[in-house]
Amino acid sequence: MQALPILKLPILVLRKILRTIYIDTVFPISLCSRKMYHLVKNFRDKSVTLRLEIYGESSSVRVVTPNGYHHKVNVMSRDKEKSGNLERVNINGHLVPIDRSRKHHRGWETYWDDKVEGLQSLMEYISDLFGIKNETKITVSPDTMRLLDVLKERQRNDYELYQYHRLSEKESHFILENYPAKVIRIAGLPDNFPIGKYLQTIDSLCVGTKVSITLDDLLSMNCVELVLSENRFTGTEINQILQHWAIGGFKRLKYLRLDVEYFNMHRVLEELTHTRMTEKREYKSIVFRSNTDPSTTFSDRDSIITRNDGVVASFQYNEQSDRVQFGVWPDSEGNEY
C-alpha cells in the first residue's frame, strides 16, 4: 500500500488528522522530521490534560491520559540492541536506535549509551511535544536519583516523587530536605525515622514504613494530605487531632489516613459537632489519584464533622483494618459534599 503523503495534505486536513490520532501514534510521527515535530506540537489535541510518568527502576517514560490510557517508551542499554539495522531517530539532540515493531507490546524501545541520559532526554522531548509542564510523576531507583536534580531545576517542587528502595537515615534526610516534592510516596525509610519536621515542608506525604512521630508533631503539621501506614494511634490521640481541626487548626489539611488501636467511635466523636452521612460519596485525594489506587468511599455508616467556620469533613472508621480516614470537602478535584 502506498504511503500517505501527509505533509502534502491541506493544512486543515492535517490539523484534523493530528487532533484525532492516539498518543502512541503521535510520538513516532513527531520523530519523522523537525517539521513534523513542530506540526504535531502545534496541532495536537490540547483539550486533553496529559500526565508524564518517569520510572527509574524499569527505565521507561509514559504519557498518561485522564482515563488511564498510556503509551510507554522504554530506555534500553545500547548493548541490548539485537540488530544493528534499527532506524535512528533524533530525540532531544541524540541520534539513537529505535525499535517500533509491534512485537513490543510494552511500547517503543530506544537504545542509549547512558540510560539516565536517555530518561532525561525522553522526559524533555515528550514534555515539550505534549506541552506537559507540571503534571509529572517520577519513581526513582538508586541508579536514577540524579533525575531529581533535573526535575528540581525544571519545575522546582511541582511534581510527584515515588520511592520504594531501602534508604539509610542519611539518604532519607537528604531526599526529604533537598527534594520536597508536592507529593511524596515513600516506602524505603528506615524504621523509626524521625519524620516530624518534614510535616512542615511537604504538602502531601504517604509513608509506607513505621516512623518516629509524636502527637505534637501531628498537631503542628502543615500538610495538605498525610497517610501513615505502619504507625498506630489511640482513640484519644485521634480525638485530639479532630478537636484541633474543629476549632480551626490544620487550615490546609484535606485528607488524613491513620491506623488506630484502642478505638471507641462514640468517645472520639462525642464532643464534636457531627451527624451521620446521608449518602455514599467518593472522595478524590491527591496521594491516591492514580488509577491503580483504590478510591476512598464514604458511606451512610460514616460521619460528617462540622468545623466552627462551617467547613465539613467526612470521617470513617474501618473496624476490620483498624484504620480511620478523614476527608475535608471539597476534595482535591473540587467535588462538594
pLDDT at 105: 60
> Is 83's pLDDT higher than 60?
yes
pTM beyond 0.85, yes or no: yes
pLDDT value of position 1: 45
- Distance between CA 210 and CA 280 in Å, rounded? 32
Q: What is the average per-residue pLDDT within 104-119?
A: 87
Q: Which of 17-26, 166-175, 212-221 has the lowest mean pLDDT?
A: 17-26
Query: Is residue 36 included in any domain, yes or no?
Result: yes
280, 301 contact by CB (below 8 A): no
Cell (9 digits) for 286: 491527591
User: 36 versus 293: which is more confidently predicted?
Assistant: 36
Residue 75 · residue 60 · CB < 8 Å: yes
Q: How many CB atoms lie within 10 A of CB 264?
A: 14
More reliable by pLDDT, 256 or 108: 256
The answer as to whether 205 is a domain residue is no
Number of domains in the chain: 1
Average predicted confidence (pLDDT) for the chain = 90
Length of the chain: 337
Distance CA 303, CA 275 (A): 6
* Alpha helices (runs of H) in the chain, residue ranges in sequence order: 11-20, 23-30, 34-43, 115-130, 147-155, 169-178, 215-219, 235-246, 265-269
Identify whether 23 is part of a domain.
yes
The better pLDDT of the pair 14, 220 is held by 220
Q: What is the mean pLDDT of residues 55-82?
A: 89
Give the model's confidence band at 67: pLDDT under 50 very low, under 70 low, under 90 confident, else very high.
confident
Query: So what's the pLDDT on residue 133?
Result: 82
3-state secondary structure of 245: helix
Q: How confident is the model at residue 3 (pLDDT cuts 50, 70, 90)?
A: low
Query: Which residues does residue 316 pair with via DSSP β-bridges, in sequence order?
Result: 325
What is the mean pLDDT of the segment spanning 285-300? Answer: 81
Does residue 26 sit within a domain?
Answer: yes
Q: What's at 124, amino acid-wise?
A: E
The predicted structure's pLDDT at residue 220? 96
- pLDDT for the residue numbered 139: 94
- Respond yes or no on whether the N-terminal peptide bond of residue 190 is cis (omega within 30° of 0): no
Q: Check whether 266 has a pLDDT greater than 80.
A: yes
Q: Who's near 233: CB < 8 A, 6+ residues apart? A: 215, 241, 258, 259, 260, 261
Average pLDDT over residues 270-290: 91
Alpha-carbon torsion angle 155, 156, 158, 164, nearest 10: 110
User: What are the pLDDT digits (tens) for 225-260?
Assistant: 999 999 999 999 999 999 999 999 999 999 999 999
Cell of 22: 492516539
Residue at 74 is within a domain: no
Q: Is the pLDDT assigned to residue 68 strictly greater than 90?
A: no
pLDDT band for position 294 (cuts 50, 70, 90): low
SS3 146: coil
Of 45-59, 91-105, 213-227, the range with the highest mean pLDDT is 213-227
Q: What is the pLDDT of residue 277?
A: 96
Report residue 264's pLDDT band, with 50, 70 and 90 as the boundaries. Answer: very high
Q: Is-contact 318 299, C-beta < 8 A?
A: no
pLDDT mean over 258-276: 94
Q: Is the pLDDT of residue 104 over 70?
A: no
Which conformational region is residue 328 in: left (phi greater than 0), alpha (psi within -120 to 50 degrees), or beta? beta
Q: Would you say residue 38 lies in a domain?
A: yes
320 in any annotated domain:
no
Identify whether the C-beta of residue 80 lies closer than 8 Å to the C-beta of residue 104.
no
Higher per-residue confidence, 16 vs 186: 186
Within a domain: 22:
yes
pLDDT at 144 over 60: yes
Owning domain of residue 37 = 5-43
